[in-house]
Structure 1
Amino acid sequence: MRAATLTAFGSPLTVHDVPDPRTGTGEVLVEVLATYVPPYAAEVFSGERRYPLEPPVIPGVGGIGRVVNVGPDATKLKKGDLVWCDSTVRARDDALTPDVTLQGWSSRGEGGAKLARYLHDGPFAELMRVPTENVYPLPAGTAADPARWSALSVHTIPYGGLLAGQLAAGETVLISGATGNLGSSAVAVAIAMGAGHVVVPGRNRAVLDLLADRFGPRVTPIELSGDEDTDRSAMAAATDGPIDMVLDLLPPQAPSSVTRAAAMTVREYGRVVLMGGVGMLGGADLALPYPWLMRNSVTVRGQWMYPRTANVGMIRLIATGALDLTPEHLTRFDLDQVNDAITHAAEHGGPFDRTVLTPLV
């Protein structure tokens, strides 16, 4: 098969012939039809983000594919099925706190790194070996445009955060980082889940207007000034009622003060979910005040990625039309153009702007 390989951090990916993957029990071999290229892929491949990838590696983060063969333990999947391949792989020998790797992308801790050395390669290739439990059947209509469904790589992440915060229909949620790629996805997913109101703070007026135009009166944009106290007051006053939940998806470059200002708008007994990268590049700690947390009975939790069940839920939201992928803008690249795709993704990381690699085209 042909694949794009990261041979060393800071080097362009190399497209060449490599041996086909060999699958065993508990694994599925999939033809990769489409895989999303994240806007920050160039930062990962340059080494700037310091992800624990071990070159040489075929990278990527999940994808849409067609089943080539399945192991003897598969009871429903069959050859020819159109499927979503989730990159979030969990070790099978610890049900309580499993080690986790993002296949072809990242890992957590030494256990995750060990798992990544076995499930080393991702979807920037014509074929990919995937654990059986990470393969999810897609509706028949997906075949009309598999590339569009590769947005599952984006939407399932904030969906996991909204599930972690137990967002209920009719509630008000504030998305911190709403003008970014993941943040704008969180707005769309929250609306699809039935949020009554979504507060979207940011400094990019054009994106704020885009979100308001696309989703209508259920979205309230707040242009941030950069002053923590002023911005907190503006966000808190954005709706007639209280803010039930805050989801933070700010990138590593963002200062912790922006996250703190958003978090402290939540109501008494409210929930705050942290999914972004704040602090990963250093800087001041988040430093939420102890008395405020305690006296207001606020729940704060972190969430990395999402539970397995989120894949099924997200597929249903899209299949039923609750989350409409039609307005999203796709730019497609074949495998030989992988380095062009990475550059394009870095320059087009705005809301609902998807760069997609199609290895078999």
Structure 2
Amino acid sequence: MKAAVLKAFGSPLSVESVPDPVLGTGEVIVDVVAAGMLAYARDVFSGKRQYLLELPIVPGSGGIGRVRAIGPDATRLSIGDWVMIDPTIRGRDDAVAPDIILQGLTAGTPEALRLQRYYHDGAFAERVRVPTENAVPIGAIDPADAGRWFALGRLLVPYGGLLAGRLLAGETLLVNGATGAFGSAGVMAGIAMGAARIVATGRNAAVLAELEHRFGDRVRTVTMSGSEEDDRRNMQRAAGGPVDIVLDLLPPEASASWVRAAALAVRPYGRVVLMGGIREDVALPYAWMMRYGIEVRGQWMYPRDAIRRLVGMVRSGQIRLDGFTVTEFPLDQVNEAVAHAAANAGPFKMTVVRP
């Protein structure tokens, strides 16, 4: 089969013939129809992000495809089923604290490298092997829409954070870092889950205005000034009442003070979910957290049942995928896709490779 291979950090991907994946018990082989290209894939492939990847590797974190072969333990899947290829693979030998990898992207921790060495290659290939539980049925779709259906991958990350924060219909949500790809998807997911008001923060005033235009009166925006006290006050003013939950999705280059501004805007007994990538430590006042029962938790990715729930929201019309602009590239143009994704990052834009 054909696949795109990363042989050395800093080198282009090489499209070449590689051995077909071999099916094992507890596994599924999927014919990849569409695989998403991350906006920061270039930084991963150059080594700038220092992700745990053992080369050579077929990258590609998740996709949409059709089941080609199933193992003897599959009781519901059938050959030809449309599935989402879930890249979040969890070790099966520790139910309490499993090691986790993102297939074709990173091992996450040194302990998870053993798992990555087995589920080594990702979705920038004609076929990919995944654990049975990572081929999640999405129902029948038009093959031409496969790229748009990969918007599930964009939505799943913030959706996992909102599930972790237990967002309830009627609550006020603050999405910190809403002008990026995942932050804007967090606004969309919050709307679908019934948030009464969403405060969206960021530095790009034009993107914030587009969020208000796209989602209407339930969204209020705050352009970050860099003054922690001013930003916190503006967030609370935009909320028009208590902020129940903060979902932080700030990128690596953001300041810890922006996290603090949002966290300190939450009401007593409110919740703060950290999903961003900032590299600084964040100091929060101990006495305030203790006295007011503030809940702060980190969240990486999403629970296993999140995909099925999200598919249900799409099928019911709570989430519309036609709001995403999709640019597609054949596998032979995978390096062009890497460049395009970097140059066209932002809300509701997706770059997709179609093997």
- Same fold, TM-score > 0.5, yes or no: yes
Q: How does 1:151-190 map to 2 (within 5 A)?
A: 151-190=151-190
The count of corresponding residues between Structure 1 and Structure 2 is 355
- Gaps of at least 5 residues in structure 1 are none
Partner of 1:331: 327
Matched residue SS, 1:106? coil
2:295 corresponding residue in structure 1: 299
2:201 & 2:190 partners in 1: Cα distance?
15
Q: Is the 8 A contact 2:236 2:243 kept in 1?
A: yes
Find the aligned partners of 2:20 and 2:323 in 1 and give their Cα distance: 36
Contact 1:274–1:301 (8 Å) recurs in 2: yes
Kindly provide the CA deviation profile for residues 222-281 of structure 1, in whole angstroms up to 9, marking residues without a partner as x.
1121111111110011122200000000011111111111111000000000000011xx
Distance 1:52 1:239 in 2: 40
**One-letter code aligned to 2:312:** R
Question: Aligned letter for 2:306?
Answer: A
Query: What is the distance in 2 between the residues matched to 1:293 and 1:114?
Result: 38
Whole-Å separation in 2 of the counterparts to 1:240 and 1:92: 46
TM-score, normalising length: structure 1: 0.97
The residue identity in structure 2 corresponding to 1:109 is T
Q: What is the Cα deviation at residue 144 of structure 1? A: 4.8
Q: Aligned partners of 1:316 and 1:214: how far apart in 2?
A: 22
Corresponding residue number in structure 2 for 1:321: 317
Trace 1:110-125 onto structure 2 (pairs within 5 A).
Answer: 110-125=110-125
Pair 1:189–1:142, CA change in 2 (3 A) = farther
Does the 8 Å CA contact 1:142/1:149 hold for their aligned counterparts? Answer: no
Aligned to 2:211: 211
Q: Separation in 1 of the partners of 2:110 and 2:36? A: 27
Indicate if the aligned counterparts of 1:100 and 1:111 stay in contact, CA closer than 8 A.
no
Q: Is the 8 A contact 2:138 2:308 kept in 1?
A: no
**Which position in structure 1 is the counterpart of 2:259?**
259
1:352 is the counterpart of 2:348: yes
CA distance in 2, matches of 1:358, 1:206: 31
Query: What is the correspondence of 1:69-218 to structure 2 with a 5 Å cutoff?
Result: 69-218=69-218
Q: What SS does structure 1 have at the residue aligned with 2:321?
A: coil
Tell me what 1:64 maps to.
64
Contact 2:29-2:67 at 8 Å conserved across structures: yes
Which of 332, 338, 341 in structure 1 is aligned with 2:337?
A: 341
Alpha-carbon spacing, 1:127–1:265, altered in 2? closer, same or farther (3 Å): same
Question: Residue in 2 aligned with 1:22?
Answer: 22
**1-structure distance, mates of 2:130, 2:310:** 19
Q: Secondary structure at the match of 2:10?
A: coil
Whole-Å Cα distance in 2 between the matches of residues 41 and 144 of structure 1?
24
- What is the TM-score with the length of structure 2 in the denominator? 0.98
Amino acid at match of 1:314: L
> 2:238 aligns to what SS in structure 1?
coil
Map residues 235-274 of structure 1 onto 2, 5 A cutoff.
Answer: 235-274=235-274
Matched letter for residue 326 of structure 2 = L
Contact 1:107–1:113 under 8 Å retained in 2:
yes
5+ unaligned residues in a row in structure 2: which ranges? none
RMSD: 0.9
CA distance in 2, matches of 1:72, 1:141: 26
Identity, % of aligned pairs?
Answer: 55
Q: Distance in 2 between matches of 1:142 and 1:351?
A: 24
> Retained in 2: the 8 A contact 1:82–1:143?
no
Once superposed, which parts of structure 1, at least 4 consecutive aligned residues long, lie more than 2 Å away? 108-111, 141-144
Q: What SS is found at the alignment partner of 1:340?
A: helix
Contact 2:3 2:126 in 1 (8 A): yes
User: Are the equivalent residues in 2 in contact too, given 1:139–1:319 (CA < 8 A)?
Assistant: no
Structure 1 residues 23-56: Cα deviation after superposition (integer angstroms, max 9, x where no partner): 1110001100001101010010011110001110
Aligned equivalents of 2:152 and 2:52: distance in 1?
A: 23
**What's the offset of the Cα at 1:10?**
0.5
